[in-house]
Chain A
Amino acid sequence: MMVKKLIEKVEGEAELDFSFKNNKIDDVTIKFGFYRGIENILTGKPPRDALVITPRVCGICNHAHLIASVRAIEDGYRSVGMKVNLTNKANDIREFTLACELIQNHVKWFYLIILPQLEKLLDQQGEENHALKASYLSSTITKALAIFAGQWPHSSYAVPGGVTCDPTYVDVMQAESLVDESIKFFEQIMVGVKIDDILAMDSVLDLPKIGGDLGKVLLLLGSSGMAEMGKSHDRFIVFGECLCFKIGKSIPTQVSTIDTNYVKEERQKGSMAKSVTYKNRLFEVGSLARGMIAKEPMVKALHKRYKDSTLTRIFARVYEMGLLISYSKQLLKRLNLQEESCTFKANNRPMDFEGVGVVEAARGSLIHKTTVKDGLITNYEIIVPTQWNLSNGNGEEQGVSTKAMRGATSVEEASFIFRTFDVCSVCTTQ
C-alpha cells in the first residue's frame, strides 16, 4: 500500500511517499519540489557578494550561511598565502551571533513543531499558545544578535578578517540582559530546572527532575511509546569548527577525525534535493550528533538507554539550547572591546582562489565551497545539513530519516519522527 502525504510548515513543504508492509511503514521517499538556483546566481559575481546572497538561502538559518560563506573566502585567501588572523573579539562576536541564531532555531522547532505536533499525534491538545513562547524567545535572542549584526534575518556583518561592528559596552550590557532573559525563559518555561543543573545531569535517573515544557514532552514520549521510536543508523558526523562543539564522526564504537574531501553530493530521482554521504555512508548531523561527538554526559547517558531515538534527539536539541545560552553568556563576559573588529585591511584582494567554509548550523554541518577566477566566482557549492538527514539513501543504505521512520504504524507517527530531524525545505532545495 502506498500513501502520499504533504508535510507543510517545514520552511516550505516536503512530500512523503510511504509504502506499508504488514501495517507498518516499510519504506519512505522524500521529495522536495522547487529548486531556486542560489548556487548559479552567484556565478559571475565578486566573491564577497556571497556574504549578501547566501543568507537568502534560508529565512531561519541565514546567519549560519553568512558565517560559512565568510569562512570559505577566508580559507581561500589563506590558501594563496594571505594572512587572515581574526582577533579574539571578532571570533567571539561571530560565535555569539551564531549561537543566538541556533537558539532561535531550536526554540522555534520545539514550540512550533515538536510540542504541538506531539500533542496532536497523541490527542492531548490544550489551549496554550505555544507559538507565543517561540516568538517571545526568538525575538529576545535575535535582538541580542542584532545588537552586533545589525539585523536578523539576513545580516551580512561578517567580512573577511572579522566583523563590521564596533560595539561599545552599552551594546554588551544590553546583550547580556537579553541573554539573562533567555536563561530565565529556559529555566522557568522550558526545562523547569536551573540551567547549570540540567547541564550537570549525567544519568537517565535525572530525567524525572526535568519539568517545564520539555518535561511535558518527555512524559508524552514515554507514555506513548514514541520515546523508543525513530532510531536510525546510529552514526553521527560534525564538521563545523565553532561554538562549543567538537569535530569528528562517531559510530557506535568510536569517535574519529574527518576530512571534507570525502563528502559526496548526488542527485536524487524525483526530488530537487541532492543527497550527501561521507565515504559513501550516511550519517546523522545536528544537535544529537554534536552531543554524541562532544560526549556530553547526559546525551551519552540517554543514548545508552534509548539509542538515536526521538527522545534522545529531542532532548539533545533542548539540552544544546542550554549549552548555547550559557556559552553565549561567557562569550559576552570575556569580550575585550579594545581589540580590533576587523584585521583585514588590504586593498589587494586575491583574484584567484578556492576556499571551503564549514559551520555548525542549527540542523547540523553546513559547508560552502567557493571557486574564484579573475576576481569573480566561477563555482559555488552549498551542502546543507538537511541533505544529510533527509536524503533517500544511496542504494546501499537507507536515508537517516527514512530509516528512522521505518516501522512506524501510521503516517502521523512517521511524520512526527520526520519532524524530529527538523526539516528545512528551503535549505534542502537552495
Chain B
Amino acid sequence: MKKPKLLWLQSITCNGNAHSFFNHPELFSILSHFELLYHPLLDTEYILEEVIKTQLACDVLILEGSFREKGMLKGGVELSTVVEVYAQKAKHIITAGTCATFGGVFKEADPKNITGFAFDIKEKTKRHELYFSKLISLPGCPIHPKWLSFVLLMLAKEKDIVLDDMFRPQELYGITVHTGCSRNEYFEWKVDTKGFGLKEGCLFYEQGCQGPHTRGSCNKILWNDASSKTIVGTPCFGCTEPDFPKTALYMTQTNMGIPTTMPLGVPKRAYLTATGIAKSFKIKRFEERIIKYDG
C-alpha cells in the first residue's frame, strides 16, 4: 500500500504547533506511516520553493496558523492561493491549532482580514462550504501533540473519526478541560484556592479558570506526558475555544459574584442551587494543606 502524502503548511503562526508536535515521544514512528512532503522543522523531500509551485500531489494537508486572503507571502507567492490548490487536492485537511481553526491570537491584529481556515471565530468562512467534507479541526494554542498523532494514525489506518459540528474529534473535544483536573474535589465543594502557588483549591471562582466550559482533553491526556495548566495552578485560558483569547485572563468574570460563564451545558439555576448548598459546608480536609511539612 502506498503511504499517504503529508504536507504541513504554515501561515500566520508562532510555530508552536510544529514544536509541540515535534516533542511527541513517538514522532518518527507516527510519521513513518506517511510520505512527508514538507514540514516546517524536519528535513523533507521538497523545499518550500518547490511546494509553492503547487505541483505536488497531497493526501493529508496540515494547516498551521491563521489566514488572510492578501498580504501573506511565501517566496513571493500569496500563501492563500497555494493553500487553495492543496486543499482541493487533499483527501483530509487538518487545521492544527486555534489560529488555523478559528483565527486565534493573530486575528486580533487585523480582525477584519485575518480568520481561521474554515471558521472566522464561530462563523463559517467561504472555504467551509468548499471543504467541509474533508475538514478535521484540532483547536488548541498550541495543539496537543497526542491529539494530532491520534488523528494522523486514524487516517493512516483508514478509520473513521467521529466529529462534532465544528469538525472536532468527539473523542478529544467531547469532554471539558475540567475532566480529570486534580482540583476536582475543590470544585465539587466550591473551595476556592487562596491565591496562586497552592496545590489546594479550585481556580474557577477567582483566578479565571475556564476549564469547566472549555472543550479539550488536557487533563485526560497530559501535556508532555507530565502535567497540565490546572494541575500546576495556572488557570485554563480556554485556548481551544473559538473566542480565544478573551481578556482579563487571570480573573474570573462575575456578575455580582456569580461566574458569567457556566460549566458547559449547566443551566445557571442548577449551578447556583448546587453551589449554594455545597458552599454551606465547611469541610476541614478541604481547608487544610495536603502536605504538612512541619508535622
Contacts and interface: CB of A to CB of B under 8 A. Distances in A.
Given A146-B223, A152-B224, A165-B197, A139 B23 contact: yes
A58 B48 CA distance: 21
B28 A59 contact: no
B226 A34 contact: no
A126 B2 CA distance: 26
A77 B145 CA distance: 37
B231 interface: yes
A62 B41 CA distance: 16
Interface of A: 6, 8-9, 11-13, 33-34, 36-38, 40-41, 45-46, 48-49, 51-53, 56-60, 62, 90, 108, 112, 116, 129, 131-132, 134-135, 138-139, 142-143, 145-157, 159, 161-166, 168, 174, 337-338, 340-342, 345, 426
B255 interface: no
Nearest to A430: B14
Nearest to B195: A345
Contacts of B47: 8
B23 A138 contact: yes
A338 B234 CA distance: 20
Given A139-B25, A153-B142, A157-B229, A340 B18 contact: no
A146 B229 CA distance: 9
Contact of A57 (B14, B18, B227, B294): B14
Contact of A337 (B12, B72, B231, B293): B293
Contacts of B227: 146-147, 149-151
Contact of B234 (A6, A37, A135, A157): A157
Given A9-B41, A12-B13, 4 more contacts: A56-B14, A59-B18, A154-B239, A164-B234
Interface in B239-279: 239, 245, 247-251
A142 B223 CA distance: 10
A258 to B, nearest CB: 29
Nearest to A338: B293
Interface string B1-22: 0000000001011111111101
Nearest to A178: B226
Given A132-B28, A142-B23, A157-B232, A33 B73 contact: yes
29 contacts: A8-B48, A34-B72, A45-B247, A52-B237, A59-B14, A59-B18, A112-B43, A131-B28, A132-B28, A135-B22, A139-B24, A147-B226, A150-B229, A150-B234, A153-B142, A155-B229, A155-B234, A156-B234, A157-B229, A157-B234, A159-B196, A162-B196, A163-B197, A164-B232, A164-B233, A166-B198, A342-B195, A342-B197, A426-B15
Nearest to B104: A56
A343 to B, nearest CB: 8
Contacts of A90: 197
A159 to B, nearest CB: 5
Contact of B197 (A6, A45, A142, A162): A162
Given A8-B47, A13-B75, A48-B250, A41 B198 contact: no
Given A13-B74, A135-B23, A165-B232, A37 B109 contact: yes
A143 B229 contact: no
A34 B234 contact: no
A328 to B, nearest CB: 16
A60 B23 CA distance: 11
B49 interface: yes
Nearest to A120: B43
Contacts of A59: 13-20, 142
A146 B228 CA distance: 8
B63 interface: no
B232 A150 contact: yes
A154 B13 CA distance: 13
Given A151-B227, A162-B197, A166-B197, A58 B42 contact: no
Nearest to B48: A8
Nearest to A15: B75
B233 A41 contact: no
Contacts of B226: 143, 146-147, 174
Interface string B100-129: 000001101110000000000000000000
B20 A52 contact: no
A112 B18 CA distance: 13
B180 interface: no
Contacts of B294: 338
A166 B18 CA distance: 29
A46 B248 contact: yes
Determine which residue in B25, B73, B195 has the highest number of CB atoms from chain A within 10 A of its CB, and name it.
B195
Interface string B187-201: 000000001111100
A40 B232 contact: no
Interface string B202-238: 0000000000000000100001111111111110010
A38, A56, A162: which has the most chain B beta carbons within 10 Å? A56
B28 to A, nearest CB: 6
A96 B54 CA distance: 44
Interface in B31-67: 40-43, 47-49
A12 B15 contact: yes
Contacts of B230: 150
| Cβ-closest 9 pairs across A and B | A341-B197, A342-B197, A59-B15, A59-B16, A37-B109, A151-B223, A164-B233, A146-B224, A165-B232
Contacts of A51: 249-250
A157 B234 CA distance: 6
Given A56-B16, A147-B226, A49 B249 contact: yes
Contacts of A151: 218, 223-224, 227-229
Given A34-B73, A150-B232, A154-B16, A341 B198 contact: yes
A13 B51 CA distance: 14
B27 interface: yes
B12 A34 contact: yes
Given A8-B48, A59-B13, A149 B232 contact: yes
Contact of A58 (B15, B197, B225): B15
A283 B237 CA distance: 38
Contacts of B48: 6, 8, 13
